[in-house]
């Protein structure tokens, strides 16, 4: 008899916790039962253990594998931000394919028996460039006040939501889909503007589409509910490991006396800036805090359960340190339970055991670690500098002139590099002279007459360099954007924002050449037509271009890691795909993750733009089967 009751209880629990996403028909709903401190899924009590996984940080070919690994850990929900800049990289040009195929991501999650929580922001933070906002907002409205009721901002958000939310509608629970919750803003309480009018606007706009088909929520750090919570919207809190989760729940209860407890961002790992040690979070306290929260009936989202990669120019930055700037590394491994390649770590197994003490075992076998491959060293050919005449003609855009330097945004450029050039004033015999660049964002490779003489960098608050006479009269500053600040968001314009002075005298009359490095076909054309005479002419300049090929014989093809040890700082493209920034000299990240999906059998191409280091002798790069994220 006790056995029978136990079995019945288990069955009941299974029904309560899973709910078949396809079989709800007219009972389809997800609501908050404030009175009983719980959620109701299709009218039945429900609580979740969820994991954050941002689709834009992994290639679609690996989505199912990762989602299944999450389900196998006992999770019943996947939470993702929606990144505006991924979907509207240029104004009015929308992208819903490949890594931007949000609907496909939702469908796969559904097929893997996960419910979905969407966090459309529009501000997402997330250690992404500009917190997920598209840069062109600042091109169009240089004085826009993001995350406030600035009329221009509200109008642009409304335009974006009018495109986004109708696409989401059919996936909401009330429409029979897997999406149970939709967030409003993101830790708004931590933002100084504290603009309740804006939150009210965003709530109304979201509600217009979501109606009662999903639960709307906000998330804030426990001390910041005052400016972050919205009347009539479920408030949740974000906190990491602690001996006493109760203190945080009490702060939530002050604002929301009844309703389900949710930790929307529980941190099993953390992010890392360049030059810092790789963030590592011990699993013991994570498991302990998790058990305490689950024992009190709370729902919990791991941020991140799978971190992935900031491919291309998508990494963000913070505003700390001596130069009030700290750029994030390319990897978003996050020391998460699933590593950057999507493989289970020992942390995964520990947390899975803890989760399964509270949620039913979904009986999904844990997908095994996928094999990784190394490759023989690849020798690269030299194609001169980005600053050479030939490269400028092939890759540089719209040389523009103006009295004072223009920002990347004023030049309508997202990221990459901009070359600023001016004539050094004559008529002085002081030697050397101090070149000073005010408000540099972020890093300048300083040249005189095509000769690289040193680096200035915002992060270290190094803004000046001596220049000796007789080096030439052409001053050239090749300026790199290392990612716009994503937290406590300001308008983090890039380029040279202040004045450039020589011995205190301002240098005027600049020409700017843009290198957005967005269209790989230009790079490939350049390499294909390269005549060779520029190698010598630009050999003393920074930003040297290298390309080589490597052959893959084996099938199936595995993930690998490109190891730029011995190189300085720059960018790597494989088969035209921008893997992101490498910087082994600063670390801690050394290798870049190379997803198997960008490789193919036969000949593959690697292109490197090395920003600062002279590569002597043969230029060689290797591929290893092990990530190296903890320094050289």
Which of 83, 127, 156, 187 is catalytic? The answer is: 187
> Between 341 and 360, how does the x/- string for binding to ligand NAG read (CB under 6 A)?
--------------------
Q: Which stretch binds ligand NAG (CB under 6 A): 57-65, 198-206, 221-229, 334-342?
A: 198-206
Q: How far is the CB of 467 from ligand NAG (least distance, A)?
A: 17
> Between 27 and 46, how does the x/- string for binding to ligand NAG read (CB under 6 A)?
--------------------
Radius of gyration of the chain (CA): 26
Cβ atoms of 80 and 53 within 8 Å: the answer is yes
Q: How far is the CB of 207 from ligand NAG (least distance, A)?
A: 8
Cβ atoms of 589 and 329 within 8 Å: the answer is yes
Q: Which stretch binds ligand NAG (CB under 6 A): 43-51, 196-204, 263-271, 624-632?
A: 196-204
| Catalytic residue check, 265 | yes
Of 235 and 327, CB closest to ligand NAG: 235
Q: How far is the CB of 403 from ligand NAG (least distance, A)?
A: 6
For 474, the 3-state DSSP assignment is strand
Q: Give the total of residues touching ligand NAG (CB under 6 A).
A: 6
Based on the shown chain and the rule CB under 6 A, indicate whether residue 197 belongs to the binding site for ligand NAG. Answer: yes
Q: Which stretch binds ligand NAG (CB under 6 A): 34-42, 197-205, 457-465, 593-601?
A: 197-205
User: Residue 532 gets which letter from DSSP?
Assistant: S
Say how far apart CA 370 and CA 596 lie, in whole Å.
11
Judged by CB under 6 A, the residue of 7, 204, 402, 603 near ligand NAG is 204
Q: Which stretch binds ligand NAG (CB under 6 A): 12-20, 195-203, 312-320, 374-382?
A: 195-203
Judged by CB under 6 A, the residue of 211, 212, 468, 509 near ligand NAG is 509
> What sign for the dihedral angle of Cα 450, 453, 458, 459?
positive
- Cα end-to-end distance, the chain, whole Å: 62
Of 195 and 288, CB closest to ligand NAG: 195
Q: Which stretch binds ligand NAG (CB under 6 A): 193-201, 494-502, 563-571, 608-616?
A: 193-201
Cβ atoms of 550 and 606 within 8 Å: the answer is yes
Of 204 and 211, CB closest to ligand NAG: 204
Residues 111-130 that bind ligand NAG (CB under 6 A): none
| Catalytic residue check, 185 | no
Based on the shown chain and the rule CB under 6 A, indicate whether residue 243 belongs to the binding site for ligand NAG. Answer: no
Based on the shown chain and the rule CB under 6 A, indicate whether residue 508 belongs to the binding site for ligand NAG. Answer: yes
Say how far apart CA 536 and CA 528 lie, in whole Å.
18
Of 232 and 470, CB closest to ligand NAG: 232
Q: How far is the CB of 315 from ligand NAG (least distance, A)?
A: 34
Say how far apart CA 94 and CA 100 lie, in whole Å.
10
Q: How far is the CB of 237 from ligand NAG (least distance, A)?
A: 24
Q: How far is the CB of 202 from ligand NAG (least distance, A)?
A: 9
Q: How far is the CB of 423 from ligand NAG (least distance, A)?
A: 7
Based on the shown chain and the rule CB under 6 A, indicate whether residue 211 belongs to the binding site for ligand NAG. Answer: no
Q: How many CB atoms lie within 10 A of CB 463?
A: 18
Name the token pair of 444. Answer: 């300048």
Judged by CB under 6 A, the residue of 96, 201, 255, 358 near ligand NAG is 201
Alpha-helix residue ranges (DSSP H) falling in 171-314: 196-210, 225-228, 245-255, 283-295
Phi, psi of 498, deg, nearest 5: -105, -155
Say how far apart CA 105 and CA 521 lie, in whole Å.
28
Say how far apart CA 573 and CA 594 lie, in whole Å.
10
Q: Which stretch binds ligand NAG (CB under 6 A): 65-73, 194-202, 227-235, 292-300?
A: 194-202
Of 473 and 625, CB closest to ligand NAG: 473
* Residues linked to residue 323 through DSSP beta bridges, in sequence order: none
Say how far apart CA 557 and CA 574 lie, in whole Å.
15
Q: How far is the CB of 200 from ligand NAG (least distance, A)?
A: 4
Judged by CB under 6 A, the residue of 200, 345, 460, 622 near ligand NAG is 200
Say how far apart CA 529 and CA 140 lie, in whole Å.
36
Which of 265, 390, 421, 480 is catalytic? The answer is: 265
Residues 281-320 that bind ligand NAG (CB under 6 A): none
User: Residue 519 gets which letter from DSSP?
Assistant: -
User: Residue 367 gets which letter from DSSP?
Assistant: P
Nearest to 545 by CA among 433, 414, 391: 391
Q: How far is the CB of 149 from ligand NAG (least distance, A)?
A: 7
Nearest to 583 by CA among 522, 628, 518: 628
Cβ atoms of 202 and 186 within 8 Å: the answer is no
Based on the shown chain and the rule CB under 6 A, indicate whether residue 402 belongs to the binding site for ligand NAG. Answer: no
Cβ atoms of 271 and 127 within 8 Å: the answer is yes
Answer left, alpha or beta for residue 523, where phi above 0 means left and psi between -120 and 50 means alpha: alpha
Instruction: Give me the residues that bind ligand NAG (CB under 6 A), please.
Output: 197, 200-201, 204, 508-509
Q: Any idea which residues carry the catalytic annotation?
A: 187, 265
């Amino acid at each position: 008899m006790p056995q029978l009751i136990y079995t019945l209880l288990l069955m009941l629990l299974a029904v309560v916790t899973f709910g078949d996403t396809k079989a709800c028909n007219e009972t389809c709903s997800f609501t908050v039962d404030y009175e009983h401190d719980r959620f109701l899924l299709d009218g039945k009590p429900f609580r979740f253990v969820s994991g954050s996984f941002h689709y834009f940080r992994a290639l679609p070919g690996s989505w199912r594998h990762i989602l299944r690994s999450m389900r196998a850990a006992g999770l019943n929900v996947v939470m993702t931000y929606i990144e505006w800049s991924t979907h509207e990289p240029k104004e009015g040009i929308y992208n819903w394919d490949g890594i931007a195929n949000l609907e496909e991501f939702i469908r796969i999650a559904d097929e893997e028996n996960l419910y979905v929580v969407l966090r459309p922001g529009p501000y997402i933070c997330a250690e992404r460039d500009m917190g997920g906002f598209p840069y062109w907002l600042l091109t169009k409205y240089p004085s826009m006040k993001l995350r406030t009721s600035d009329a221009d901002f509200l109008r642009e958000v409304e335009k974006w939501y009018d495109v986004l939310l109708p696409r989401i509608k059919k996936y909401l629970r009330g429409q029979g889909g897997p999406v149970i919750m939709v967030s409003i803003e993101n830790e708004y309480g931590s933002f100084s503007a504290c603009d309740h009018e804006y939150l009210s606007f965003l709530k109304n706009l979201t509600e217009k589409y979501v109606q009662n088909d999903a639960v709307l929520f906000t998330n804030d750090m426990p001390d910041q509910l005052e400016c972050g919570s919205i009347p009539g919207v479920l408030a949740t809190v974000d906190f990491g490991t602690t001996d006493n989760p109760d203190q945080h729940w009490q702060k939530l209860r002050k604002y929301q006396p009844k309703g389900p407890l949710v930790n929307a961002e529980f941190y099993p790992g953390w992010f890392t800036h360049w030059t810092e040690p790789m963030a590592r979070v011990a699993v013991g306290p994570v498991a302990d805090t998790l058990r305490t929260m689950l024992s009190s009936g709370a729902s919990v989202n791991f941020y991140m359960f799978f971190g992935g990669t900031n491919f291309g120019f998508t990494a963000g930055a913070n505003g700390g340190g001596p130069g009030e700037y700290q750029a994030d590394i390319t990897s978003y491994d996050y020391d998460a339970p699933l590593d950057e390649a999507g493989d289970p770590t020992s942390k995964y197994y520990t947390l899975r055991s803890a989760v399964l003490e509270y949620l039913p075992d979904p009986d999904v076998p844990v997908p095994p670690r996928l094999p990784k491959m190394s490759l023989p060293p690849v020798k690269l050919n030299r194609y001169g500098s980005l600053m050479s005449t030939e490269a400028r003609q092939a890759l540089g855009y719209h040389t523009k002139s103006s009295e004072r330097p223009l920002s990347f945004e004023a030049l309508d450029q997202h990221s990459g590099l901009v070359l600023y050039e001016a004539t050094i004033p004559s008529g002085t015999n002081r030697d050397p002279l101090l070149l000073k660049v005010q408000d540099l964002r972020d890093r300048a490779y300083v040249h005189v007459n095509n000769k690289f003489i040193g680096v200035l960098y915002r992060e270290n608050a190094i803004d000046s360099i001596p220049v000796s006479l007789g080096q030439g009269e052409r001053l050239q500053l090749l300026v790199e954007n290392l990612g716009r600040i994503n937290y406590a968001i300001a308008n983090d314009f890039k380029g040279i924002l202040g004045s450039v002075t020589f011995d205190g005298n301002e240098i005027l009359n600049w020409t700017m050449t843009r290198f957005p490095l967005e269209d790989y076909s230009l790079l490939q054309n350049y390499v294909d037509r390269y005549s060779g005479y520029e190698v010598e002419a630009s050999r003393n300049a920074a930003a040297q271009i290298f390309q080589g090929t490597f052959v893959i014989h084996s099938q199936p093809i595995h993930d690998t890691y490109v190891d730029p040890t011995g190189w300085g700082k720059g960018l790597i493209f494989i088969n035209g795909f921008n893997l992101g920034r490498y910087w082994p000299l600063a670390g801690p990240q050394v290798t870049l993750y190379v997803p198997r999906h960008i490789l193919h059998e036969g000949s593959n191409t690697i292109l490197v733009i090395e920003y600062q280091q002279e590569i002597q002798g043969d230029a060689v790069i290797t591929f290893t089967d092990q990530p190296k994220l903890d320094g050289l």
